[in-house]
Amino acid sequence: MGDKVTAPKVRAMRGRQPIVCVTAYDASSGAIAEEAGVDVVLVGDSVGNVVLGYETTVPVTLDEMLHHVRAVARVCRRPLLVADMPFGTYQESVPQAVASAVALMKAGAEAVKLEGDYPEVVEAFVRAGIPVLGHVGMTPQSVHRFGGFRVQGRGSEGPVVVDQAKRLDEAGVFGIVLELIPAALAAEVTAAVGCPTIGIGAGPSCDGQIQVFHDLVGLSAETFRHARRYGEARSDMVAFLTRYATDVREAAFPTEEHSF
């Protein structure tokens, strides 16, 4: 597979080199991630908030995920392509979870990610040949239980997060996303498990980092403490379209140069 990033290669990166992960939702963001040389592309169910205009990831369906996974899979070659399992597609039973994961793999995913404490599902995926990434801490599909998108694992909740991560590790995940937890707790989890940890709002001690594409390039309307904006794509794009609108209104576009 040459330079191709695979789930076992991601696992083996722990302690050797930081794992660079980003979300992508369509062929253009997928191609940009590929060109930038990231290791892992996640078709996140954050597609719900970021692209589809939902308030949370809860409404995202398997069909919606399949549509976006297919788009990214058409362009994503070197990075490992991971697909999020949307809410309601794995919580009911192990057979339901396996059927959902199989559908995502047939759409082009090379691994799946699920949120929360489901070691029995992880074991079934591993048995079925499906690499799986865990996700603990602030798991957005549980936003209604948490009462908002807030930091998790503070105080007496810390050991609960460590135990969840250990169970997932023992069940066979190739990595675990740690989202919005204190940096000291992320360091504790990282020391307690054998697989790599991939942080988002979890400090610098994780084995890798993941960020939402739109937050990194500045396409998101909101700014977040856990993200660094490397550009201001949103205001740049508004400026581009404003200039286009002015040109059309003032008959400055199209010119002969754009005509046949």
Which residue has the CB atom at the shortest distance from ligand KIV?
44
* Short-list 144, 21, 41, 129, CA closest to 87: 144
Site string for ligand KIV, 190-209 (x = CB under 6 A): ----------x---------
Q: Any contact of residue 46 with ligand KIV (CB under 6 A)?
A: yes
Site size for ligand KIV (CB under 6 A): 11
Judged by CB under 6 A, which stretch of 43-51, 61-69, 162-170, 224-232 contacts ligand KIV?
43-51
Q: Given phi > 0 = left and psi -120 to 50 = alpha, else beta, which region is 158?
A: alpha
Instruction: Round to whole Å and give the CA distance between 43 and 65.
Output: 8
Q: How many C-beta atoms surround the C-beta of residue 149 within 10 A? A: 15
* Short-list 133, 132, 134, 182, CA closest to 159: 182
Rounded to a whole number of angstroms, the distance between the first and last alpha carbons of the chain is 46
- Our answer to whether residue 35 is catalytic in this structure is no
Quickly tell me which residue has 């789930």 as its tokens.
7
Instruction: Round to whole Å and give the CA distance between 216 and 193.
Output: 28
Residue 195's identity, in one-letter code, is C
Residues 215-244 that bind ligand KIV (CB under 6 A): none
Site string for ligand KIV, 146-185 (x = CB under 6 A): -------------------------------x-x------
Residue tagged active-site, from 179, 188, 232, 250: 179
Q: Any contact of residue 212 with ligand KIV (CB under 6 A)?
A: yes
The answer to whether the bond into 254 is cis (omega within 30° of 0) is: yes
C-beta of 213: minimal distance to ligand KIV in Å? Answer: 9
C-beta of 88: minimal distance to ligand KIV in Å? Answer: 15
Q: Any contact of residue 117 with ligand KIV (CB under 6 A)?
A: no
Residue 122's identity, in one-letter code, is V
Q: Any contact of residue 39 with ligand KIV (CB under 6 A)?
A: no
Interacting residues with ligand KIV (CB under 6 A): 23, 42, 44-46, 84, 177, 179, 200, 210, 212
